[in-house]
Structure 1
Amino acid sequence: MKTLCIKYARKLEDQGLCEPGKTLVGGLDAGLEWNRPDPQIAILAPLFDLLPINSLVFAPPAEPYATIIDHLAAPIPDAPVDNLRPEDTETRTFLHDIPVCHEFSVTALAAALARRKAAIVPGHGIVSCGTVSPEQGFVFVSSTVFACFVLFFSRYLAQARAGGPDVRFRAAFKAASSMLNAMRRDQPPLAQTIPTARDQALAAMAGAGRAVVGHGLVDSFFGNISCRLGDTILISQTGSSLDELPGCIDACPMDGSSTTGLTASSELTAHEDVYRQSQTRCILHGHPRFSVILSMDCDRPDCAHRGRCHVACPECRTVEGVPIVPGEVGTGPTGLCNTLPPALAGHGAAIVHGHGLFAASDTGFADAFATLLDTENRCREGYFRRLEDLLSGRAPA
């Protein structure tokens, strides 16, 4: 258990989400283990007696996330923030909303974590829990950071449309923007073509997964990867870590003659239809932040579909030339399996509203990754151009 606690504390810090050396991860097995000693364990440890959990994560965010989260969650006179309600798909799927605790105490944290899997304590950090493994706490912390980042930059853009953010928001935005990491443009050494041998194709997929996580193009480790070998699709399993794919890839015959699809990514059906409708050889799916943010930006506040944009938007929208489509995870009448395949097959890239970016290639993972990275970089540049136009009174291009 201690090994797992150390592993997931390091992952949060290696991904730049948390302050180095300050993350605490506790896990209950034969006894309660922590990744390191710390005086704050005295506040956190009693939660194991009050809640049906076996793991806990306390994560002080690194910058710019600390500034972003404290701005969103900090109490405002006469308008205290009790919870945050981001509208991205990750929050809708995993978090629903994010409680805000205005005191770092056992009582306040127990009340919040009895209702949700993660909570924010302004000025301190994020506390999350799991019932199976410390991995769950890692996922919920990462998802909280992702959701707050998207909410912060989305809200600022929306307020720029509505007349301009207030002084407090402008100061927080200026500080957070100045601390963003530089855009990455380096291309990792990925497969130029899809190998015909299955073991080599699996190795190519694992390398692509590590690159997607390493370049910060995904929330925690979520997303999915696939490639086509003849009439079989190799695809990452549902819930698998993209940076730890060996042993977590399913071979799914396109004629449905195997049950391997039961453990495959929930987006298997969408991947299958892309392969059927085009010459695509591989697909990468991540959750790059500015692609998600711009997919949610809309200049029609009076739209009849407001609040259901992620499943019902009828507009043919694009961002930086990439189509935006509605659709929920999985199948069903509003599933992205109905909207993504034609868009992706026709353009090589598509953004699912509030969810993430899909990139396809008819050659190999190097090409698909280049599309993923370039699209996110163009969306980040496009975000700040759009914002500048709005604040200067110009109509965004």
Structure 2
Amino acid sequence: MKALCDKYARKLVGQGLCEADTPLVGGLDAELEWNKPDPRIATLAPLFDLLPINSLVFARPAEPYAGIIDFLASPEPEAPPVTSLRPEDTETRTFLHDIPVCREFTAQAMAVALSRRKAVIVPGQGIVSCGTVSPEQGFVFFSSTLFACFVLFFSRYLAEARHGAPNQRFRAAFEAAVARLAAPRHDLPGLTTSPLDTGDAILAAMTEAGRAVVGHGLVDSFFGNISCRLDDTIYISQTGSSLDELEGCIDACPMDGSSTAGLTASSELTAHEDVYRLGDARCILHGHPRFSVILSMDCDRQECPDRGKCHVKCTQCRTVEGVPIVPGEVGTGLTGLCNTLPPALASAGAAIVHGHGLFTTSPHGFAQAFAALLDTENRCREAYFHRLDQLLAAKPVT
């Protein structure tokens, strides 16, 4: 258990979510282990008695995340206290639902929030997240909370610029966050261009590409999916697998359904199958780049009968930087992205699912699909600030 606590503490730092030596990760096996000694363990350890958990993560996030969550969790002057945040991205709908805010850094107060959700924000302190199986869950919920808050913050600022004007308090927080953003990456990881003509070659290429997607920060924690077609078989990452640790977590799924391998495959297997049927793609990459997600949720329609259900009911033909935006929920069903994503990808080679993430394809290999993923996110980031500048140019400061 100690090794797992150490591993996910390193991942939090390695992905830029926390500063070095700041995460506290605890895990309960035969006894309670922590990645390091810390006086705050005295406050956190009782949570293992108060809740049915076996792992816990606590840290003050790195910037710009720390400033973002403190701003979102703090009310406007004379407004009632913020008790929870309700981001509208797919990760929140799927995993978090909402994010409670706790004003007291005490085990009793945090236990109330964590009894119904997997993460809680403690303004000025950080985020506490937990899991019932391993420290990996705490890492995932911590990362997902930061992703959701980042998307919420930048989406809300753009919406206020579109429909009015952010006030001075919001402008100050926004300018501080922007000043602390990491510079966009333009370097490509040099993925293999060898032929993907054997199962072994495909497994090696998928593992390499998955690690690059995480390494370039194009995902939330390590989520996303990746696949490659060889004849009538799709090699695809398993549901819930870590894109940076795909060894042993890739399923070979015959497209005729003659195997049960699809039972553990990504929930988006059906969408991948139809993409391959409709076009000449050989591989698919899916990540959750932040500005692609943010711009997918920005809409200039003043009146819309489906507002609040855009992720499943939007019928507008929208694009961002030439990339189509489509609605669709994770998985299958009437509102599943399996119905909307394949035709968009087949025609454009890239598509953004509303509030969810970006998919790219290539008829050759993962180097081209990765380049398209990175380039689209960089263009979305640039488009975000260009759009914002245009909106604010004609707005008064309040």
Q: Which amino acid aligns with 1:202?
A: L
CA–CA distance in structure 2, aligned partners of residues 391 and 291 of structure 1: 21
Q: 2:68 aligns to what?
A: 68
The answer to whether the 8 Å contact 1:48/1:54 transfers is yes
Q: 2:169 aligns to what?
A: 168
* Offset at residue 200 of structure 1 (A): 1.4
The answer to whether the 8 Å contact 1:194/1:281 transfers is no
Pair 1:38-2:38 in alignment: yes
**How many residues get paired?**
394
CA–CA distance in structure 1, aligned partners of residues 179 and 355 of structure 2: 24
Q: Any gaps of 5 or more consecutive residues in structure 2?
A: none
SS in structure 2 opposite 1:338? helix
CA–CA distance in structure 2, aligned partners of residues 100 and 220 of structure 1: 21
1:259-301 per-residue CA deviation (whole Å, 9 max, x = no partner) reads 0000000000000000000010000000000000000001114
* Offset at residue 393 of structure 1 (A): 2.4
CA–CA distance in structure 1, aligned partners of residues 159 and 20 of structure 2: 33
SS in structure 1 opposite 2:57? strand
Q: 1:351 aligns to what?
A: 352
SS in structure 1 opposite 2:338? coil
The answer to whether the 8 Å contact 1:118/1:129 transfers is yes
Q: Which amino acid aligns with 1:6?
A: D
Matches within 5 A, 1:211-230: 211-230=212-231
Change in CA separation of 1:133 and 1:259 when aligned onto 2, cut-off 3 Å: same
Q: 1:131 aligns to what?
A: 132
Q: 2:108 aligns to what?
A: 107
1:327-348 per-residue CA deviation (whole Å, 9 max, x = no partner) reads 0000000000000000001000
CA–CA distance in structure 2, aligned partners of residues 194 and 127 of structure 1: 45
CA–CA distance in structure 2, aligned partners of residues 157 and 341 of structure 1: 29
CA–CA distance in structure 2, aligned partners of residues 53 and 246 of structure 1: 28
* Offset at residue 59 of structure 1 (A): 1.8
SS in structure 2 opposite 1:240? coil
Q: Which amino acid aligns with 1:308?
A: K
Matches within 5 A, 1:49-68: 49-68=49-68
Q: Any gaps of 5 or more consecutive residues in structure 1?
A: none
CA–CA distance in structure 2, aligned partners of residues 277 and 367 of structure 1: 19
Q: Which amino acid aligns with 2:311?
A: H
SS in structure 2 opposite 1:63? coil
CA–CA distance in structure 2, aligned partners of residues 96 and 349 of structure 1: 28
* Offset at residue 194 of structure 1 (A): 4.3
* Offset at residue 44 of structure 1 (A): 0.1
SS in structure 1 opposite 2:236? strand
The answer to whether the 8 Å contact 1:194/1:227 transfers is no
Q: 1:385 aligns to what?
A: 386
The answer to whether the 8 Å contact 1:311/1:334 transfers is yes
Q: 1:98 aligns to what?
A: 99
The answer to whether the 8 Å contact 1:194/1:365 transfers is no
Q: Which amino acid aligns with 1:326?
A: P
* Offset at residue 94 of structure 1 (A): 0.1
The answer to whether the 8 Å contact 1:22/1:60 transfers is yes
Question: TM-score, normalised on structure 2?
Answer: 0.98
Q: Which amino acid aligns with 2:8?
A: Y
* Offset at residue 103 of structure 1 (A): 1.3
CA–CA distance in structure 2, aligned partners of residues 295 and 301 of structure 1: 16
CA–CA distance in structure 2, aligned partners of residues 260 and 84 of structure 1: 38
* Offset at residue 193 of structure 1 (A): 5.0
Q: 1:240 aligns to what?
A: 241
CA–CA distance in structure 2, aligned partners of residues 375 and 279 of structure 1: 20
Q: Which amino acid aligns with 2:84?
A: N
The answer to whether the 8 Å contact 1:193/1:365 transfers is no
Matches within 5 A, 1:1-397: 1-76=1-76, 77-192=78-193, 194-393=195-394
Question: TM-score, normalised on structure 1?
Answer: 0.98
The answer to whether the 8 Å contact 1:187/1:370 transfers is yes
1:191-229 per-residue CA deviation (whole Å, 9 max, x = no partner) reads 225421211110000000000000000000000000001
Which stretch shows the higher mean deviation, 171-180 or 185-194?
Answer: 185-194
1:174-201 per-residue CA deviation (whole Å, 9 max, x = no partner) reads 0000110001000111122542121111
Q: How much identity, in percent, do the aligned residues show?
A: 77
CA–CA distance in structure 1, aligned partners of residues 264 and 331 of structure 2: 13
* Offset at residue 107 of structure 1 (A): 1.4
SS in structure 2 opposite 1:339? helix
SS in structure 2 opposite 1:351? strand
Q: Which amino acid aligns with 1:21?
A: D
The answer to whether the 8 Å contact 1:192/1:367 transfers is no
SS in structure 2 opposite 1:283? strand
The answer to whether the 8 Å contact 1:252/1:260 transfers is yes
